[in-house]
């Protein structure tokens, strides 16, 4: 058998007790059967769960079907009200709308309790679409055909939702019933669409009626064929009776008339008779639809009940079999495990050195043989223990020539005693090897470049290596004669004592850093790693001199902070001050950033630590040293040192722009200070170049926006003074020509009226284009009247909250504010599907603040090429800021801040 091991542990099966193995052996076939049964039960429960979900989905789909029926009735009512508006048709349309709202509310509540797809959200979206269609229908801007088309979009989406809900039939019967129900819904929708289109046709004057047949009868017939294929025989009979009843024959007669190549207009039905016949036929189809829905619900409920009963029956049978087999296996297990436990207890006692334990089991089976073997093993173990005791006594007496009697044992026992004899023979040689190892360790201790020491918990060094002496400059005698905390920097002594206390308490390893004072008074940073030996009261420690690496890390951190400030585009004066502070902190000096002018004069831009040193009236010796260092930099173009001062040049576009100067309180600065200072000058040069680029970019964007606004005003003025005036003149001429026509019913009069209307529409379109280019009301009346004009023309209702001063605002902020709000209203009408837009405008602290918020779909992203990018450019070109917040489904909010006084940019 292949051994399954986990690391160095015993085989997997060896970890099980015999009783467990017996149970596994007996129950393995039953377990396989149970596993198969359980898998089948899980599959059946899963099918039952799917049937339950499908059953719930059908209830949601039936409510959605009710919404679809209500929308269909609302559509035909809206069409009739558009074709022949009177009190009855308008009342029927209002009643149909209320019925649709009730059906939509009921379906939304039913869908909200379902855990499947977000049908409630889709129904909410359908409700918003219906409100938008009703608003357009109320204004009369839609023709009857357009009304049908608008409602058709909602109907198609509703039927798609019903199809999605009923498409998951887990069984064949449920799937066929669902397919039949969906096919009948599609057929009814085709009949409804045909009813509306024929009503529109019959309301048209006879001379202008089209003769081509629509596509809806063919679509209805195809869906009814599919319904007959999948439904039950009684429903097929109901469908046959409906098709060949009186309303069905009347509708088919109209279809044949419309499909004829030369229909006889005299035999066309009346408008009212068509509506009555088609309505009666569709009502019959809806009755069949209700029966199909009941068949679908009954099929789903029957399948669900059958699946649950089958799963419970199979599970109960499997559990009964498992109980019977388990009882038999437990009885057999008890007859085997009792003697095994006795043998195991004897083996455990023998392994623990208890040779007095006696195994009483004396059966004649295999377990009895094992018990006899353990009795013989106990006697052999007693003899082996006596030999081992004699070897231990010889070691204690230093009689390394003593040997055990190997010949009295055989096999593994003889090999064990032979190995112990070999151990005795090599024991003396181990003393010599130990001595040589100690000498090698001594050499490593003395030659190590790291600082190695042994200290006691009493606070004194017990031993230090030569590297310790070289680093600190003290002799070994000095280091060993005084408490080591006297060599630690005064500020680090408390932390060092705390670390020693942790080591004394038994912490395995302690790592920390502190400063030691050299014999010459300078500081050295040491990084320690220490391990205690509590039983000896000692601590073994190793240290590394990290003074230079810490200084390098401080320099890099300072450079990163300054580089981050530069990358953020901070103002140059902030960068200059930060550079002076970082240089002063890093070098422990006073520092300054100076600007060099072409006439040789210099300006202090940023200082740190004793800034009065760089004042013109200062008599400090460091100022004289700094002046000499700057003079040397000006002459050579490289970093230079003069006494206690160091200076480095700032070069921008290959010209000397300024200096960074550091002056020390000590006699001299460290070597390499010039190079460290040069790193900061490169960052200052980058900051100056970045600021100059930003200023040029801002000015360029402002010029582009100003040029575009001037072009808009010129084009608007040309349109107003040129094309608009010519169109007005043509309108007057056309009115004169109409007055000369004596017969107002003649073809010439109708043509002149048609041309006049087209000319009026063209004039209105041109007027809208001129207003969009640059509105005249903005130039004449200011921002307030212009925004109110925008609100009146908006397709979405606008709520204005204007808190603007009576005086006119500057031109650039006014124009920018107008176009921002105009673009936002346009985007809302095109994409947001919002019900209302709130616009706020106020002036606070010389800043014009704008807020445009809608309750639409949200999801606007400026980075995807929308019109918001142009608005951001326009706002930022005059120093403003535009922020867009548009989470999906929560509307869009645009906030703008426009400064009314833009300060000039200077680098």
Residue 371 to residues 30, 335, 359, 367, 376, Cα–Cα distance (Å): 34, 16, 6, 6, 9
How far apart are the C-alpha atoms of 709 and 768, rounded to whole Å? 17
Q: What is the pLDDT of residues 617-657, one digit of tens each?
A: 555 667 777 778 787 888 887 888 877 788 888 887 778 88
How far apart are the C-alpha atoms of 318 and 315, rounded to whole Å? 5
For residue 766, give both structure tokens: 């041109």
Over residues 824-840, the mean pLDDT reads: 85
Residue 733 to residues 250, 456, 687, Cα–Cα distance (Å): 54, 117, 68
Q: What is the structure's pLDDT at 122?
A: 82
Residue 293 pairs in a beta bridge with none
Using CA atoms of 241, 244, 247, 253 in order, give the dihedral in degrees to the nearest 10.
160
Q: What is the structure's pLDDT at 768?
A: 56
Residue 528 pairs in a beta bridge with 512, 543
How far apart are the C-alpha atoms of 835 and 677, rounded to whole Å? 63
Over residues 31-50, the mean pLDDT reads: 69
Over residues 561-583, the mean pLDDT reads: 75
Core vs surface per residue 419-438: b (16+ CB within 10 A) or e? ebeeebeeeeeeeeeeeeee
Residues in Cβ contact with 222 at an 8 Å cutoff, skipping those fewer than 6 apart: none
How far apart are the C-alpha atoms of 884 and 895, rounded to whole Å? 7
How far apart are the C-alpha atoms of 609 and 589, rounded to whole Å? 7
For residue 598, give both structure tokens: 């072409």
Q: What is the pLDDT of residues 264-319, one digit of tens each?
A: 655 667 777 777 887 888 888 888 888 878 877 787 777 777 777 776 777 777 77
Range name among 324-338, 581-595, 788-802 with the lowest pLDDT average: 324-338
Q: Of 540 and 360, which is predicted with more confidence?
A: 540
Residues of the chain with pLDDT > 90: what percent? 1
Residue 638 to residues 649, 659, 678, 735, 897, Cα–Cα distance (Å): 6, 10, 9, 87, 46
For residue 350, give both structure tokens: 């023998």
pLDDT band for position 262 (cuts 50, 70, 90): low
How far apart are the C-alpha atoms of 860 and 886, rounded to whole Å? 6
Q: Classify strands 837-844 and 798-803 as parallel, antiparallel or unpaired.
A: parallel
The DSSP secondary structure of 242-299, one letter per residue, reads HHTSHHHHHHHHHHHHHHSSS--GGGPPPHHHHHHHHHHHHHHHHHHHHHHHHHHHHH
Q: What is the structure's pLDDT at 1?
A: 39
How far apart are the C-alpha atoms of 877 and 699, rounded to whole Å? 7
CB 874 within 8 A of CB 705: yes
Q: What is the structure's pLDDT at 440?
A: 75
Residue 473 phi, psi dihedral angles, 5° rounding: 75, 10
Task: For 482-521, give the secondary structure using H, E and C.
Answer: CEHHHHECHHHHHHHHHHHHHHHCCCCCEEEEEEEECCCC
Among 309-313, 428-432, 736-740, 887-891, the range with the most confident prediction by mean pLDDT is 887-891
Q: What is the structure's pLDDT at 38?
A: 66
Among 14-18, 491-495, 579-583, the range with the most confident prediction by mean pLDDT is 491-495
Please report where in the chains the tokens 């009177």 appear, as a residue: 86
Instruction: Indicate whether 426 pLDDT > 80.
Output: no
Alpha carbon distance, N-terminus to C-terminus of the chain: 84
pLDDT band for position 380 (cuts 50, 70, 90): confident
Helical pair 172-203 and 246-259, crossing angle rounded to 10 deg:
60
Helical pair 144-166 and 18-83, crossing angle rounded to 10 deg:
170
Range name among 7-11, 268-272, 728-732, 861-865 with the lowest pLDDT average: 7-11
Q: What is the pLDDT of residues 84-104, one digit of tens each?
A: 888 888 888 889 888 888 988
Q: What is the structure's pLDDT at 851?
A: 93
Radius of gyration of the chain (CA): 49
3-class DSSP state of 517: strand
Using CB atoms within 10 Å of the CB of residue 138, give its burial: 0 to 12 exposed, 13 to 18 middle, 19+ buried: exposed
Q: What is the pLDDT of residues 476-521, one digit of tens each?
A: 888 888 888 888 888 888 888 888 888 888 777 778 888 888 887 7
Whats the size of the chain, residue-wise?
907
Residues in Cβ contact with 591 at an 8 Å cutoff, skipping those fewer than 6 apart: 579, 580, 581, 583, 584, 607, 608, 609, 660, 661, 662, 663
Residues in Cβ contact with 82 at an 8 Å cutoff, skipping those fewer than 6 apart: 137, 140, 142, 143, 144, 147
- List, in sequence order, the alpha helices (H) in 113-171: 119-139, 144-166
- List, in sequence order, the alpha helices (H) in 140-230: 144-166, 172-203, 216-230
Using CA atoms of 390, 393, 397, 398 in order, give the dihedral in degrees to the nearest 10.
70
Residue 881 pairs in a beta bridge with 897
Q: What is the pLDDT of residues 140-191, one digit of tens each?
A: 778 888 888 888 888 888 888 888 777 766 777 777 877 888 888 888 888 8
Q: Classify strands 655-663 and 645-652 as parallel, antiparallel or unpaired.
A: antiparallel
pLDDT band for position 904 (cuts 50, 70, 90): very low
With residue 545 as reference, give the H or E element that holds it.
strand 538-545
Instruction: Indicate whether 777 pLDDT > 90.
Output: no
Q: Of 403 and 474, which is predicted with more confidence?
A: 474
Mean pLDDT (the chain) is 75
């Amino acid at each position: 058998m292949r051994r399954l091991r986990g690391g160095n542990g015993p085989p997997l099966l060896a970890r099980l007790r015999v009783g467990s193995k017996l149970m596994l052996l007996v129950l393995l076939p039953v377990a396989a059967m149970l596993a198969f049964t359980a898998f089948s039960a899980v599959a059946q429960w899963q099918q039952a769960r799917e049937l339950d979900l499908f059953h719930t989905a059908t209830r949601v789909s039936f409510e959605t079907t009710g919404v679809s029926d209500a929308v269909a009735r609302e559509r035909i009512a809206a069409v009739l009200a558009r074709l022949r508006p009177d009190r009855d048709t308008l009342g029927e349309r209002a009643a149909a709308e209320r019925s649709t709202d009730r059906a939509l509310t009921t379906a939304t509540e039913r869908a909200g309790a379902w855990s499947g797809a977000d049908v409630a959200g889709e129904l909410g979206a359908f409700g918003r679409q219906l409100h938008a269609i009703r608003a357009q229908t109320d204004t009369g801007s839609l023709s009857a055909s357009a009304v049908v088309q608008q409602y058709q979009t909602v109907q198609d989406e509703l039927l798609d939702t019903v199809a999605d809900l009923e498409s998951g039939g887990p069984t064949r019967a449920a799937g066929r019933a669902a397919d039949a129900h969906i096919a009948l819904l599609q057929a009814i929708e085709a009949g409804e669409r045909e009813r509306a289109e024929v009503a529109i046709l019959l309301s048209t004057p006879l001379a202008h009626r089209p003769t081509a047949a629509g596509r809806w009868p063919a679509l209805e017939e195809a869906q009814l064929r599919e319904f007959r294929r999948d439904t039950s025989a009684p429903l097929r009979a109901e469908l046959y009776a409906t098709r060949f009843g009186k309303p069905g024959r009347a509708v088919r007669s109209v279809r044949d008339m419309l499909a004829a190549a030369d229909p006889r207009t005299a035999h066309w039905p009346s408008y009212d008779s068509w509506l009555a016949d088609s309505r009666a036929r569709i009502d019959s189809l809806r009755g069949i639809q209700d029966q199909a829905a009941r068949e679908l619900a009954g099929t789903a409920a029957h399948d669900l009940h059958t699946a649950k009963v089958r799963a419970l029956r199979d599970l109960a049978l499997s559990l009964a079999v498992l109980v019977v087999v388990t009882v038999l296996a437990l009885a057999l297990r008890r007859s085997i495990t009792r003697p095994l436990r006795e043998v195991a207890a004897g083996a455990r006692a023998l392994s623990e050195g208890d040779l007095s334990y006696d195994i009483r089991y004396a059966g004649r089976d295999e377990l009895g043989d094992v018990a006899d073997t353990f009795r013989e093993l106990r006697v052999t173990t007693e003899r082996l223990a006596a030999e081992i005791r004699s070897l231990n006594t010889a070691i204690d007496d230093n009689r390394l020539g003593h040997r055990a009697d190997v010949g009295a044992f055989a096999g593994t026992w003889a090999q064990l005693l032979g190995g112990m004899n070999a151990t005795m023979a090599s024991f003396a040689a181990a003393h010599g090897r130990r001595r040589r190892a100690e000498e090698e360790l001594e050499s490593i201790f003395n030659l190590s470049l790291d600082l190695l020491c042994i200290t006691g918990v009493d606070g004194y060094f017990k031993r230090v290596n030569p590297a310790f002496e070289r680093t600190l400059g003290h002799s070994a005698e000095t280091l060993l004669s005084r408490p080591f905390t006297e060599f630690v920097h005064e500020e680090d002594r408390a932390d060092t004592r705390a670390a020693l206390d942790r080591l004394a308490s038994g912490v395995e390893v302690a790592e920390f850093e502190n400063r030691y004072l050299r014999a010459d008074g300078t500081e050295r940073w040491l990084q320690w790693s220490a391990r205690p030996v509590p039983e000896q009261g000692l601590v073994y420690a190793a240290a590394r001199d990290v003074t230079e690496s810490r200084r390098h890390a401080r320099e890099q951190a300072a450079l990163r902070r300054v580089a981050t400030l530069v990358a953020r585009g901070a103002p140059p004066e902030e960068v200059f001050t930060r550079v002076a502070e970082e240089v002063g902190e890093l070098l422990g000096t006073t520092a300054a950033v100076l600007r060099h002018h072409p006439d040789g004069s210099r300006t202090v831009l940023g200082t740190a630590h004793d800034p009065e040193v760089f004042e013109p009236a200062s008599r400090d010796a460091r100022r004289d040293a700094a002046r000499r260092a700057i003079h040397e930099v000006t002459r050579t173009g490289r970093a230079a040192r003069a006494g206690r001062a160091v200076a480095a040049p700032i070069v921008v576009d290959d010209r000397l722009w300024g200096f960074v100067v550091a002056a020390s309180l000590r006699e001299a600065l460290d070597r390499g200070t010039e190079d460290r200072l040069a790193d900061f000058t490169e960052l200052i040069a980058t900051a100056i170049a970045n600021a100059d680029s930003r200023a040029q970019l801002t000015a360029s964007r402002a010029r582009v926006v100003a040029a575009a606004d001037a072009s808009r005003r010129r084009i608007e003025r040309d349109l107003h003074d040129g094309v608009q005036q010519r169109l007005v003149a043509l309108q007057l001429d056309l009115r004169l020509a109409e007055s000369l026509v004596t017969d107002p019913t003649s073809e010439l009069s109708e043509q002149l009226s048609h041309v006049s209307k087209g000319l009026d529409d063209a004039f209105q379109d041109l007027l809208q284009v001129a207003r969009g280019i640059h509105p005249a009301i903005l130039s004449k009346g200011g921002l307030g009247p212009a925004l109110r004009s925008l609100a009146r023309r908006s397709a979405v209702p606008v709520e204005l909250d204007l808190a603007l001063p009576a005086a006119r605002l500057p031109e650039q902020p006014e124009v920018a504010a107008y176009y921002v709000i105009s673009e936002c209203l346009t985007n809302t009408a095109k994409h947001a599907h919002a019900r209302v837009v709130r616009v706020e405008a106020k002036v606070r602290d010389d800043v014009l603040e704008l807020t445009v918020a809608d309750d639409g779909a949200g999801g606007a992203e400026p980075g995807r090429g929308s019109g918001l990018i142009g608005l951001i450019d326009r706002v930022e070109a005059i120093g403003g800021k535009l922020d867009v917040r548009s989470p999906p489904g929560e509307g869009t909010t645009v906030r703008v801040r426009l400064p009314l006084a833009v300060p000039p940019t200077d680098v």
